[in-house]
């Protein structure tokens, strides 16, 4: 069974259960699987949190999702577990030949999920022989020292997939792209739109409202640029989904004398639709940055204490600026502006 799973699998399930950016960085492997096995049914099992990344993805035949209890605190844990069990039972009916545990290092929880769906073989990284469920092991080895896209791409080696990963791929939401284009047209439509995403999950990845406002003003006075203010809506003190409505309002007030298109992104379709109409993205390291890379945008990435060698934008022109103290807050406005202008001025291929 292991041998047939390696040669001509009829059905492949790729399991990726972590963050949005991690799943985006797995799309080069997904595309390589599609090219290697063009007639296989290719399925992704993810979470309700990350699978919207794959909406409309041309290489994926089906997406299954389950919820982690921490993502659904309004539901009893038993209800969450029962929902997960139903999803796994449906996936088991697909009769997969191969499950791939796509993640960094030993994926113990993903291995338990794979065991439930009963694939013919399980391929994944192992450390010291664990997890034991893996029947096609790939030593994680140098994985921590590679870019995350390069790291997970090594799982293709036993399947005859080699070489560097290609670009990430995210499909923009068509309806949201149309809605954004209409809003941009109402503001004149001739300026190049520059996305400025102000939200970041971790404190050391956050830039202040006054610096964002100064950057937006500096970009807007250039004459041919339209800053697009993007943020995750909601209250800052919301324990489930902290938002940046107050921060966005402060930025808009401080930059009230220049044209700005304010665009709250309540979900991934809204984010992808807006980014598809922009020429550049400026943002902190995080899921939105990798979404922009998946849409092919040049990126100015603001890094705090996360390593750019592992998490820099993959496959697109970019400039990485890292706070010398490991804190995005220590970056100055002029350095970010210069990086953005330099990327915009680069000739496209």
Q: Is 281 helix (H, G, I), strand (E, B) or coil?
A: strand
- Rounded to the nearest 5 degrees, what angle is found at the Cα of 336, between the Cα atoms of 335 and 342? 90
**Confidence band of 79 (pLDDT split at 50, 70, 90):** low
Tens digits of per-residue pLDDT, 180-239? 999 999 988 778 999 999 999 888 999 999 999 999 999 998 778 999 999 999 888 765
Q: How many CB atoms lie within 10 A of CB 197?
A: 27
Ordered by where they begin, the domains of the chain are 2-159 (3.40.50.2000), 174-345 (3.40.50.2000)
- How far is the CA of 42 from the CAs of 24, 64, 94, 123, 164, in angstroms? 16, 11, 11, 15, 21
Q: Is 32 helix (H, G, I), strand (E, B) or coil?
A: helix
Task: Give the pTM.
Answer: 0.92
Mean pLDDT value across residues 107-120? 93
Answer yes or no: is pLDDT of 174 > 90.
Answer: yes
User: 204 with 326: CB under 8 angstroms?
Assistant: yes
Closest by CA to 231, choosing from 217, 214, 213, is 213
């Amino acid at each position: 069974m292991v041998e047939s799973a390696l040669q001509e699998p009829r059905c492949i399930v790729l399991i990726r259960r972590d963050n949005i950016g991690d799943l985006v960085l797995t799309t080069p492997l997904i595309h390589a699987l599609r090219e290697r096995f063009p007639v296989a049914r290719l399925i992704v099992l993810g979470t309700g949190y990350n699978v919207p990344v794959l909406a409309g993805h041309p290489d994926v035949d089906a997406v299954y999702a389950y919820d982690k209890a921490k993502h659904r605190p309004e539901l009893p844990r038993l209800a969450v577990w029962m929902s997960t069990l139903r999803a796994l039972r449906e996936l088991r009916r697909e009769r997969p030949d191969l499950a791939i545990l796509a993640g960094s290092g030993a994926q113990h929880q993903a291995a338990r999920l794979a065991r439930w769906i009963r694939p013919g073989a399980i391929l994944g990284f192992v450390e010291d022989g664990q997890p034991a469920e893996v029947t096609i092991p790939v030593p994680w080895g140098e994985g921590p020292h590679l870019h995350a896209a390069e790291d997970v791409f090594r799982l293709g080696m036993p399947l005859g997939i080699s070489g560097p990963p290609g670009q990430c791929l995210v499909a923009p939401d068509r309806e949201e792209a149309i809605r954004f284009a209409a809003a941009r047209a109402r503001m004149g439509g001739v300026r190049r739109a520059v996305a400025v995403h102000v939200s970041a999950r971790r404190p050391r990845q956050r830039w202040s409202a006054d610096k964002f406002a100064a950057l937006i003003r500096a970009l807007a006075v250039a004459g041919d640029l339209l800053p697009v203010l993007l943020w995750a809506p909601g209250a800052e003190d919301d324990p489930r989904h902290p938002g940046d409505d107050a921060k966005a309002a402060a930025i808009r007030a401080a930059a009230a004398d220049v044209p700005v298109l304010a665009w709250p992104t309540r979900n991934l379709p809204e984010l992808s639709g807006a980014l598809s109409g922009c020429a550049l993205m400026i943002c902190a390291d995080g899921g939105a940055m990798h979404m922009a890379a998946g849409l092919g945008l040049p990126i100015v990435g603001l890094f705090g204490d996360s390593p750019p060698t592992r998490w820099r934008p993959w496959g697109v022109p970019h400039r990485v600026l890292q706070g010398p103290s490991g804190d995005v807050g220590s970056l100055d406005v002029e350095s970010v502006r210069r990086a953005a202008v330099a990327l915009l001025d680069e000739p496209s291929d």
